[in-house]
Amino acid sequence: MARGRHAHPRRFPHAPRRIVATLLALTLGSVGALGIKMGRIQADTSPAHTTTTLTTSPNPFDDPAIARYVASRRNDITAAVCDLRTGAIYTYNPDVAMPTASMVKIDILAALLHRAEITGRPLSNADIALATLMVEHSDNDAATTLFNELGGPTALNAFNQLIGMSHTTSFYDWGATLTTPYDEIALLRTLVVPSGVLTDADRQFEMGLMEHVVAYQRFGVGKGEPAGALVGLKNGWFPFDSGWGINSAGFVMLGNTEYLVAIQTAANPNEQYGRDSVSTLSALLWTAERRISATLPTP
């Protein structure tokens, strides 16, 4: 499995895709953060994260099965879910920045696609081939080549500020990029929801790569949904000094259930423990979101 060549960062504290028409009323960055405090579960209500959503929906992190599961884990977990039908974002243990590891590869590609659009210079065939390797196979050499071509951390940080990732910092060691699940939702929205930052063709291209990540890397968001669901994801994993970091981010769509999810974990005692954490939490979130979607009006 491909693993990013990361520095050891500091120890952390504990369409043509089907998109509901009402999403077009939600502009990039204007996503809500609603919720009810419950233990470490809380709404993200900092000024940068506050807006008005079209409707409200129940907080999936209030689900008893999810609360019991995250309380039982001995690693550090932070997560966010965005209900695409309402635009509401809910967070668990928010504002905790952790390294992305290879999850940053979809960020690198999005920044490259945006630069290609504003400069009028489309990606070359070689770049497209490298992007495919980088996302579908998590190839590190391809990521390094494209990251350097983009302009390194300065260019990636500028793009991230543009799309509202205000708590994300990239470094020359791209896998050590620090981010939060809330910021990852901003990135995923840029890919999934029309906003003007990326063309429809570029969004379809990157989403398509995420939908075709190789089977052995489809843990986390890729677990727990029925076979008919449209799922795109990018995961990251690496053994840091403080333990394994295991992350998963992506989109899930089936019928009236449409949501974005980002889960980050740190201080995992081993790789499998982290994979189990993001996969089980993702499966529980699917169950909660499926139940929530049944309470919302049919579009």
- What is the per-residue pLDDT across 53-75, written as a single tens digit (0 to 9) for each? 345 678 999 999 999 999 999 99
- Enclosing domain of residue 128: 21-293
Mean pLDDT across the stretch 4-32?
29
* Dihedral of the alpha carbons of 184, 88, 70, 160, in degrees to the nearest 10: 10
**CB-based contacts of 27: which residues, under 8 Å, 6+ apart?**
195
In whole angstroms, what is the distance from residue 94 CA to residue 79 CA?
Answer: 7
Beta strands in the chain (DSSP E): 32-33, 41-42, 76-83, 88-92, 98-99, 178-179, 230-240, 243-254, 257-268
pTM over 0.75: yes
Q: Comparing C-alpha atoms, which of 92, 106, 21, 91 is closest to residue 49? A: 91
Kind of pairing, strands 98-99 and 230-240? unpaired
Q: How confident is the model at residue 43, as a pLDDT?
A: 36
- What is the per-residue pLDDT across 276-298, written as a single tens digit (0 to 9) for each? 999 999 999 999 999 988 887 77
Q: Comparing C-alpha atoms, which of 243, 214, 281 is closest to residue 99? A: 243
In whole angstroms, what is the distance from residue 207 CA to residue 236 CA?
Answer: 17
Whether 58 maps to a domain, the answer reads yes
Domain count, the chain: 1
Whether 299 maps to a domain, the answer reads no
Whether 11 maps to a domain, the answer reads no
User: Please, what is the average pLDDT of the chain?
Assistant: 83
* Dihedral of the alpha carbons of 98, 213, 218, 90, in degrees to the nearest 10: 50
In whole angstroms, what is the distance from residue 65 CA to residue 175 CA?
Answer: 32
- What is the per-residue pLDDT across 235-272, written as a single tens digit (0 to 9) for each? 999 999 889 999 999 999 998 899 999 999 999 999 99
Whether 44 maps to a domain, the answer reads yes
In whole angstroms, what is the distance from residue 148 CA to residue 216 CA?
Answer: 27
Q: For residue 299, what pLDDT band results from cuts at 50, 70 and 90?
A: low
Q: Which residues pair with 244 in a beta bridge?
A: 239, 268
- What is the per-residue pLDDT across 84-119, written as a single tens digit (0 to 9) for each? 999 999 999 998 999 999 999 999 999 999 999 999
Q: For residue 139, what pLDDT band results from cuts at 50, 70 and 90?
A: very high
Whether 237 maps to a domain, the answer reads yes
Give the containing element (helix H, strand E) for 201: helix 200-211
In whole angstroms, what is the distance from residue 224 CA to residue 34 CA?
Answer: 25
Whether 8 maps to a domain, the answer reads no
- What is the CATH number for 79? 3.40.710.10
Whether 298 maps to a domain, the answer reads no
Whether 2 maps to a domain, the answer reads no
DSSP 8-state secondary structure symbol assigned to residue 61 = G
